[in-house]
Each structure stands twice: as structure tokens, then as C-alpha cells.
Copies of this chain bind each other. A is one copy, B any other.
Amino acid sequence: MLRNMPDLSRGGPGDDADAAAVNALRSAVIRLSRRLKHQRVDESLSPTEMSVLGTLARCGSATPGELARKEHVQPPSMTRIVALLEAKGLVRLEPHPDDRRQKVVSQTERAEAMLEESRRRRNAWLASLAEGLDEDEWAKLRAAAPVLEKLAHL
């Protein structure tokens, strides 16, 4: 049962090509996120916890509120996540220098080591995926990765 498949090669903001791209993007992102959930490198860390550690690695330290906004999670959820990470010795909580309401979350050396390890393990997953993609497809993925990041926190 064939349906209207708009031309993806043609461009211009707001037209059918973009709508179709967004459609495909949404579907792919949802299914991929489900896969990633299952494909987690470390059983003891949820995807969001991993994501938070990644954000901390990129941005240095941040307050729980900042992290919640970046990860698109409600503050109470971030409180929980940070508490779990702290219990595992992966982040450190310090009082905010200027505002005693806030706290500053930063990663520990242990988190650093863990990220390195996880990076190594991800290469295996990467390699298995590489079998299904040609170099051109990889190039497109690499090109789009920063755009997706921008989209994620836009």
C-alpha cells in the first residue's frame, strides 16, 4: 500500500521535504532511543545517567537545575538521578559559592575512568553497526551529529 512519499532531495524551509524529514527523524529517533536503552554499555547506569555524565564531561560542572534543563527532565527527576550518581561515587556535590539554595555537581575521577571504559566498549557496538553502513552513510551521520545536538537543546 503505497502512500505519498515526498521528494527528500528538494529543499526549502517549511515545505513537504522538511515535513517528511521531520517525520522520518521523529520515528527514527524514537526507535533508536529504545534501542540505545537496551544496548547500554553498563548495566548499572540508566541511559539518562549516562547522558548526564556525558554532559558533565563536556560542560564541566553544573547545578541540578541546569542539568535538568539540558537533559529535558523535570528538576525532581534530576535530583533523583544526581543522588544515584553520587551514591555510585561518580559525581560530587558541593555547595554553590554564591547561592546557598543551589548545588554544584561535578564528576569524579572515577566517572572519568568509567567514561573512558565505556568509550572503549562502545567501539565494539560501533564496529558492529559499521558493517551495515557504507562510508557515505557514516559521513552523513557524522555531519548530522552536531546538528542533532543543537536540535536537542534548542
> Could you tell me which A residues sit within 8 Å of B by CB distance?
1-6, 8-9, 11, 13-15, 17-19, 21-36, 38, 47-48, 50-51, 54-55, 57-61, 70-73, 119, 122-123, 125-127, 129-135, 137-154
Task: Determine whether the beta carbon of A13 is less than 8 Å from that of B72.
Answer: no
Given contacts A5-B131, A14-B138, contact A54 B71 (CB under 8 A): no
Task: Determine whether the beta carbon of A154 is less than 8 Å from that of B141.
Answer: no
Q: How many protomers of this protein does the assembly include?
A: 2
Task: Determine whether the beta carbon of A72 is less than 8 Å from that of B38.
Answer: yes
Given contacts A11-B138, A126-B14, A140-B143, contact A51 B32 (CB under 8 A): no
Which residues of B sit under 8 angstroms from A9, Cβ to Cβ?
A: 142
Given contacts A11-B135, A147-B140, A147-B141, contact A126 B32 (CB under 8 A): no
Given contacts A25-B145, A142-B11, contact A153 B61 (CB under 8 A): no
Task: Determine whether the beta carbon of B31 is less than 8 Å from that of A135.
Answer: no
Minimum CB–CB distance from A118 to chain B (whole Å) comes to 9
Closest residue on chain B to residue A54 by CB atoms: B27
